[in-house]
Every structure is written in structure tokens, then in C-alpha cells.
Amino acid sequence: MKLRKVTAAAATALVLSLTATACGGDGKSDSADTGSGSGGGDKIKIGIKYDQPGLGLKEPDGSFSGFDVDVATYVAKELGYNEDQIEFVETKSADRENALARGDVKFIAATYSITPERQEKVDFAGPYLLAHQDLLVKADSDITEATDLNGKNLCSVTGSTSAQNVKNDFAPQANLEERSGYSECIAALQSGRVDALTTDDSILAGFAAQEQYKGQFKLAGLKLSNENYGIGVKKGDTETANKINTALEKMVSDKSWNKAVTDNFGPAKYKNEPAPKIGNIVK
């Protein structure tokens, strides 16, 4: 009978520990859920990126920083929410349209370029920034034009349009590697495995300015495309879109836009375009 007791105890312990972890986990997700019901708890959920320094980054202390974050915070305040009512949610590139369609987030400010394909699925406010596709190369690199990439190694993030642009239009002979994130691409650039990394110059500048990479990389300064960053809202939610547009106009006129630019892009020495006019999408 002794064995029975031991095994029974072991089994109970196992089950208990399992349920304990499960409950612990559940409790956590519950608390994260309290704000999800629209209107419940008077919170506003905003979609941003977590892994793009200078635009949207989750800092080690758990706070968020970047230009997108500042714009989103300003807009949320104009919509009538306090800073502590804002809840930031990570919206990865592939998830953005869905998160809006379901109403998981009120709006998205996550390097979200306005394109005709996306406009079929979501509505955009803005644009609030004009960025361009560019190349990040080593500081001593002699790549100055996109055509220099022919026969060279190029890195971009899986599924991004910037990689295809280069391959289709500028340098068909480029050897393209796609990786899961920008920091993985930068690691490849640092080790010499690839010669250039391509995406929007705003994103590249943020990475180049990071403490660990200072002085190692430079932007080639090419304007390979126009990326009009807009704020995505649910399709048909013109009321919110209009409110956001008003907020964005106010942000430019009261110089908060300039301050956000200097705060976030200043350290990166990113030469940004002047504030775009609402509704003026540069093709």
C-alpha cells in the first residue's frame, strides 16, 4: 500500500503543479484581457511594433519608445484618453489588417505604409510621415547605388515588399536572403555575410543609431520608393479616421510633431521629410 500512496502523492503533485502553472498563466492573460472589450474599462488599445528602435520599441523597463509611439500617444490624448488608459499591443506586419477588422485594436501606428491593396481592407488616417526605401551598408562600404547590389548579398525581412522591389527593379542579380527580423539581418551585415540590408530609411536609421552599432553602419541615402506612413483604422470607421486626421494636423501645427521627430530621429541623424499634408499620398 505504501507504493500506492507514494505514486498517488506524486500524481497529485504533478497534477497540482500543472494546474498551478496553468492557472498562473491564465490569471495573467485574464488581467491582460480586461481592456480588450471595446469600451470596457475605458482603455484604448493601440497596435505598434515592438522591435523597431526609433519607431516602436519595447524598452528593457517595459515602457515603449519611438516616433510611432509618440504619434499614437498624442492622437490617443486628442481622442480623450489619458496616458495610463493607453494599452500598446504588438501588431506584426502580417497581423495588422486582421487586428483592425476584428476590432482587437482601435488603431494601428506601426510603420504602416498606405498602399492601394491595404486600402481595400482598412481605412487610413494621415499620412504622418514620408519615408523611403533605402540601403544600410557598412561604414566603409562602396555601395552608393542600388545597381551596385548586382552580384552582392542582400538581406531583408521575410515577406517584405522592399526585398522584392530591389530584386525586380534595381538589381536583379542580387543574392537575397530573407530573415525573421531586422536585428537578425543586422547581425548578418555586421559579420560580413551580407553587403546590405534594405527596408525603409526610418527603420534603418533607428537601428544604425543603437548603442551597439554606433559608427559601424551608414545609410546609402537612396530614395528607392515612397512609403507614406498612415494610421490604420477599421474599414468604414471614418469617424475615428477624421478625428485622428484632426489630431495629426494639430500635432503638426503645435510643433509636437517636430519635437517627436527630434526626440526619436535626432540621435539617428535621420534626415526626415517635412510633415506631409493629410491625405496627400506621394506615389
Partner 1 sequence: MSSVLYDTPGPRAKQRNVLLSVVFFVLLALLLWWVWQTMDDKGQLRWALWKPFTESQAWTTYLLPGLSNTLKAAALAMVIALPLGAVFGIARLSDHQWVRIPAGAVVEFFRAIPVLLLMLFANAFYDLYTGVSSEQRPLYAVVTGLVLYNASVLAEIVRAGILSLPRGQSEAAMAIGLRKGQTMTNILLPQAVTAMLPAIVSQLVVIVKDTALGGVMIGFTELLNTRGTLAANYGNVIQSFVVVAVIYIVLNFILTSFASWLEKRLRRSKKSTGAVLGADDVEDINAGEVGGTPATGAGGGTI
Partner 2 sequence: MFDFLEGYDVLGAFWTTVQLTILSAVGSLIWGTLLAAMRVSPVPLMRGFGTAYVHIVRNIPLTVIIVFTSLGLADIFGVTMGSRDFDVQGFRLAVLGFVAYTAAFVCEAIRSGINTVPLGQAEAARAIGLNFSQTLRLVVLPQAFRSVIGPLANVLIALTKNTTVAAAIGVAEAALVMKEMIENEAQVLLIAAVFAFGFVVLTLPTGLIFGWLSKRLAVKR
Contact residues: partner 2, CB under 8 A:
94, 153, 158, 175-180, 184, 187-188, 191, 193
**Is residue 28 near partner 1 by the rule CB under 8 A?**
yes
**Is residue 277 near partner 1 by the rule CB under 8 A?**
no
- CA diameter of the chain: 81
Identify residue 93 by its one-letter amino acid code: S
Query: Interface with partner 1 by CB under 8 A: which range of 12-20, 68-76, 138-146, 223-231?
Result: 12-20
Q: Which three cell numbers stand for residue 75?
A: 492622437
**Is residue 9 near partner 1 by the rule CB under 8 A?**
no
Query: Interface with partner 1 by CB under 8 A: which range of 56-64, 126-134, 226-234, 238-246?
Result: 56-64
Three-state DSSP class for residue 122: strand
**Is residue 210 near partner 1 by the rule CB under 8 A?**
yes
User: CB of 177: closest distance to partner 2 in angstroms?
Assistant: 4
Q: Which three cell numbers stand for residue 21?
A: 502553472
User: CB of 63: closest distance to partner 1 in angstroms?
Assistant: 9
Closest Cα to residue 97, out of 236, 234, 245? 234
CA angle 64, 270, 163 (to 5 degrees): 85
Within positions 65 to 124, which residues make up the interface with partner 1, using CB under 8 A?
89-92, 94-95, 98-99, 102, 104
**Is residue 180 near partner 1 by the rule CB under 8 A?**
yes
Q: How many CB atoms lie within 10 A of CB 249?
A: 16
**Is residue 14 near partner 1 by the rule CB under 8 A?**
yes
Q: Pairing mode, if any, of strands 64-65 and 56-58?
A: antiparallel
User: CB of 216: closest distance to partner 2 in angstroms?
Assistant: 15
User: CB of 281: closest distance to partner 1 in angstroms?
Assistant: 26
Do the beta carbons of residue 140 and residue 255 sit within 8 Å? no
Q: Which three cell numbers stand for residue 200?
A: 525603409
Decide which of partner 2, partner 1, none touches 193; Cβ closer than 5 to 8 Å per partner kind: partner 2
Identify residue 31 by its one-letter amino acid code: S
Decide which of partner 2, partner 1, none touches 34; Cβ closer than 5 to 8 Å per partner kind: none
Q: What letters, b where the CB count within 10 A reaches 16 and e where it falls short, cover 83-120?
A: eeebbbbebeeebbbebbeeebbbbbbbbbbbeeebee
Decide which of partner 2, partner 1, none touches 104; Cβ closer than 5 to 8 Å per partner kind: partner 1
Work out which of 12, 19, 82, 253 binds partner 1, going by CB under 8 A: 19
Do the beta carbons of residue 229 and residue 282 sit within 8 Å? no
User: CB of 93: closest distance to partner 2 in angstroms?
Assistant: 12
How many residues bind partner 1 (CB under 8 A)? The answer is: 53
Indicate left, alpha or beta for 279 from its phi (over 0: left) and psi (-120 to 50: alpha). Answer: left
Query: Interface with partner 1 by CB under 8 A: which range of 15-23, 70-78, 146-154, 251-259?
Result: 15-23
